[in-house]
A and B are shown apart, each in its own frame.
Chain A
């Protein structure tokens, strides 16, 4: 499915650099080493599917009931990805600090 016109200009890409992690190729390689057979496309699909589930849960908590297409558009939005990434890092930080105390 082509990206909507002007989408990239408005939102940019959710790159591995902006998210602070690995590229899909690197992820696929690492997963293969752990006996999860996949290529970079599969890695991306699994990543997006995971985020769709997160988006679904969060939107349901807030009283929305979006269809799959809408959820996918949220999941692939780099702003959503970056926000989830930031929150996950904060959660990890909070946990590591509470474990140290």
Chain B
């Protein structure tokens, strides 16, 4: 959605008048009874609120149209959960749902891995705590200390700490900033053995096989047992083609 489309969307939203508290209650009662028309009016009248909240989250890197959609979903959820009997205005109630939808979308959008929102929330708490702890004691708190301060199980703390690392996960197909269209997969070194290493390894294995020929059966059996390799000596199942019994 480009800026002109957003403007025209905003214009369309402005045409819909805001609801008074009495109108909200009236509509909420009708929604409770299953009136779809009332639901539609309630949604359309509050799209402006969802839009204004979405704008505040646009600076965190997600596309504006995605954010608007997510905030609208949050708004619809708020309408389903709204209880007019509690006496609050709908906007007061719904903005929490809309914000939650926006933050969930942002956290899911920022990471390749799908991390549960409660773990992300704990991760944010931990980061805040680490900052404060460092300012006070000039050292980072241990996982046990974090667990004790936040009163959460250490297992959850460890999960949250590892999830904050997961934010730095990149796809192997991420383009590298050069003109050749290369990806990370093209420039990362392989962990496999190089050809030289493979040849060296093969030669060394042959040398070990040769060396075993000078061992007695007793020595060979003990070495095998010590190394956890089958100690049964048989000519056809012999590891290193070690010489037969002396």
Contact = CB atoms under 8 A, between A and B. Distances in A.
Interface in B168-216: 201, 204-205, 207-212, 214-216
Interface in A6-20: 16, 19-20
Contacts of A87: 204-205, 208
Interface string B214-235: 1110111111111111110000
Main secondary structure of the interface of A (DSSP, over half): helix
Contacts of A46: 218-219, 222
Given A91-B239, A91-B240, A47 B226 contact: yes
Which of B209, B216, B222 is packed against the most chain A CB atoms within 10 Å? Answer: B222
Given A87-B204, A90-B205, A91-B240, A50 B229 contact: no
A81 to B, nearest CB: 8
Nearest to A49: B219
Main secondary structure of the interface of B (DSSP, over half): helix
A46 B221 CA distance: 10
Given A22-B228, A88-B229, A31 B240 contact: no
A87 B228 CA distance: 13
Interface residues of A, number: 33
A23 to B, nearest CB: 9
A89 B224 CA distance: 10
A39 interface: no
Contacts of A61: 207, 210
Nearest to B209: A91
Contacts of B209: 91
Contact of A88 (B201, B219, B240): B240
Contact of B228 (A19, A90, A91, A95): A19
A85 B229 CA distance: 9
Interface of B: 201, 204-205, 207-212, 214-216, 218-231, 239-240
